[in-house]
């Protein structure tokens, strides 16, 4: 299967270029979810892993995005690499990562980030900065010795793509757009089509 037939291979090549050219966070992506009321929500998160099973990111499960992902189980991602004048849109179903995967990734985080995962009631109202600092101090004291365990409310999700769109800038706004969709799971092939810019 050539790079043009497999969107994961194409993404990997573009991502490798972004890692060399983007000045900050080439793994940053805009993640779109939808609430039970149909209201869409969008925020930036960091891609932590990808392979043919999908694209992995981590969050507080009780945050707005965590609740929306567990409720709707569908999401969309957008990578925009300004230095390359490229973007990739990905849409699909979302499923939780395994506890083993979440534990493994959590163990690689900086200790301060591990403490932060315990201290932050992400997306909920905060009375003052002092309240957050007090919680950080409390969990720093609680886990002063030894490793910091992963909080039960913190884990990851894997977006399993059903559609990719690769966009590349071209002169006079005649951009190149390629869509991969309707994957045949048995054959492992995708329907590929070009779109008008």
Give the residue numbers annotated as catalytic, written as ranges.
Answer: 173
> Who contacts 105 (Cβ-Cβ below 8 Å, separation ≥6)?
48, 49, 58, 156
Q: At how many degrees (to 10) do helices 129-142 and 111-119 cross? A: 120
Distances (CA, A) of 145 to 59, 123, 138, 139, 142: 25, 29, 13, 11, 8
**Do 46 and 27 meet the contact criterion of CB atoms below 8 Å apart?**
yes
H helices of 33-157, in order, are 64-72, 99-108, 111-119, 129-142
How many whole angstroms separate alpha carbon 190 and alpha carbon 28? 26
Strand partners, 167: 87, 177
């Amino acid at each position: 299967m050539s790079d043009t037939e497999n969107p994961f291979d194409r993404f990997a090549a573009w991502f490798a270029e972004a890692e060399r050219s983007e000045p900050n966070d080439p793994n940053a992506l805009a993640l779109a979810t939808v609430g039970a009321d149909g209201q869409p929500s969008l925020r930036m998160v960091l891609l932590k892993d990808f392979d043919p099973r999908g694209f992995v990111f981590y969050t507080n499960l009780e945050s707005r995005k965590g609740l929306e992902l567990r409720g709707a189980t569908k999401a969309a991602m957008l990578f925009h690499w300004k230095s390359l004048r490229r973007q990739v849109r990905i849409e699909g179903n979302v499923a939780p990562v395994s506890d083993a995967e979440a534990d493994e990734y959590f163990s690689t985080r900086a200790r301060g980030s591990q403490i932060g995962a315990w201290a932050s009631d992400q997306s909920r109202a905060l009375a003052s900065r002092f309240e957050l600092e007090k919680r950080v101090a409390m969990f720093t004291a609680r886990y002063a010795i030894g490793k910091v365990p992963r909080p039960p409310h913190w884990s990851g999700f894997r977006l399993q793509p059903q559609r990719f769109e690769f966009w590349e800038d071209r002169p006079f706004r005649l951009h190149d757009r390629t869509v991969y969709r309707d994957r045949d799971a048995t054959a492992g092939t995708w329907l590929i089509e070009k779109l008008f810019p």
